[in-house]
Structure 1
Amino acid sequence: MNKLIKVDRVCSVDEAKAVEELGAGLIGVPLDPDPRFADRRTVAMELAAEIGASLRTAGLVAMLDLREDPFDGIRRARAIGARLVQPLGGAIPEPQVRAALREAGISIVYAGIEAAHDDDPAWILSRYTTVDDLQAAFFQVDVLPEYRNAWQVLRDESPAYDDELQIDDLNQLARGHDLVAVLDYTPQNVAQIVAALPAFRGVALTLADHATRTDVHFTGYAQALEVLRALRGRG
C-alpha cells in the first residue's frame, strides 16, 4: 500500500518491530500521559530511545506535552532521535518553540483534530490556517469521533443529510492539506476506508486499552495488528 501508515502509543521494542514489519512508516512513542486514555501507555526516555534504535525503516514520532516546558520537550525529542513531535491535545507551540524545532530539524504532527458529523468542513482546520509557519508535517484528523461506528455513519447515514459531513468533504479538505485519518478501523472496513479517501496521505491507529472519553477512536494492540495485516493484504 502506498499510503502512510502511522501507529501511535507504541510502548515496547516488540510492538514497534511488529507494526513496522506490517507496514507502519511512522511510530509514535508516548513520553507523557495522554488524559484521553486510562492506561499505562507511557514510556521512559531510555525505552523510547531503544524503540527508535530498533527501527529499520520507520520514523519515530515523540508524543509529548509541549505546553509547560517546551524546550525540555525539544531536548527529549532530540535525545531519542525523533524527527517529528506530536504535541498532546493538538496544541500549537509558540512561535519561538516552532523556530527552535525548525532549527533542530524537527517537524510537527498536529493531531487530536476532530471532524464531527455536523462540522462545516471549512472550520475543521481553521485554528491552524491563520497561523504562519506552523512547521507542520501533516494534520491527523479524528473523523466522527462521537460515533463508535463512525465509518458506517459516514458511509451509510450522512449522505441522507446535506448539512452533515460527507466523504467528499473530507477528500476536498485533504486535497488542500496533508491529512492522515483516524477512524474506527477494523480488518473488515479498513480497505474500504482507504479506497474511499484517496486524497488522504494515510491512516493512523491509536493504541489504547481504555479511554476516559467516549469521543475518541482507539484500537487495542491485537486488533491493530489485524488491521495492519488487512492493509498489507490489500497490496
Structure 2
Amino acid sequence: MLHELAYALAYAHHTPEVWLVVLAATGTTFCAGMDLKSLAQPGSPVGELESASVPAPSGPVRIGELMAGLHKPCIAQVQGSVYAGGFLLVGGSTYVVAAESATFSLPEVKRGLFPFQVLAVLLDIMPARTALDLCLRARTLTAADAKAVGLVTDVVPDQALAEAVGQLTNELKQFSPTAMQFGLRAAQQLKSLPSGEQQAFLYDQFQQLQQTADAKEGMAAFLEKRKPEWGL
C-alpha cells in the first residue's frame, strides 16, 4: 500500500490534468497505521508481493515527504478511525473533512514506541505542547476534538461526508490550478528559508506566477467580466 500511495501521489504531482487529490477509505477505519507484525518479525517478507501492482519506488517511501511534495490541494475524507501513521495522511492534507463519528489516536506509547514522524507533522499544525500531549498520552480524540486542535478542518454528519467533500472539490475546481500549485509549493519552501530571505523569495514567486498562462487568462477574464477558462 505504501508503494501504491507513493505511485498515486507522484502521478498526481506530475500529471497536469490532475488538479487535486481526495484520500478516502471504506469500512470503519480510515487508516490503522503500520502493520506491527512486520516489526515483531524482522526477517519476514511482510509487504513483499509476488506480483507488484506498481513499479518499485526509487528509495524508501516516507508518507510525510510524499504529502509535502504533492503541491496540489489534497482532501482527506475521513469516515472512520485514524491511528498512528494515519496521522501522516491527515496531517499532510490541505483539508480534512471528517465524519462526526471519526476518532483519532496515537497509541504508539502503549507499545513502547513513539510517533516521531507524526510529531514533525503535528508541530506544523498546532502548538508544541498540544502535539506532544497527543503523542505522550495516547488519548482518543473525537472529530470535534480534532477540529479544536487544528487536525481537522471540517466536521459533518456521517451521511453528509461524501457530499461535503464533493462540494469542496467543486469549489476548488473554480480557481486557477497553477496559482494553487505555486502557493502550496511556496508554503513548503518557506520552511527552509531564513526569515530575512522570505519576502524576496515570495516576490520572485509572484513575478514568476504573473508570467503563466493562468495568470494572463485570469486577468483577461477579470477585465472582460467573464468566467476564466483555466488551461491544463
TM-score (norm. length: structure 1): 0.30
Between Structure 1 and Structure 2, the one with more helix by share is 2
TM-score (norm. length: structure 2): 0.30
**More relative contact order, 1 or 2 (CA 8 Å, 6+ apart):** 1
Considering only CA atoms, is the larger Rg found in Structure 1 or Structure 2?
Answer: 2
Between Structure 1 and Structure 2, the one with more strand by share is 1
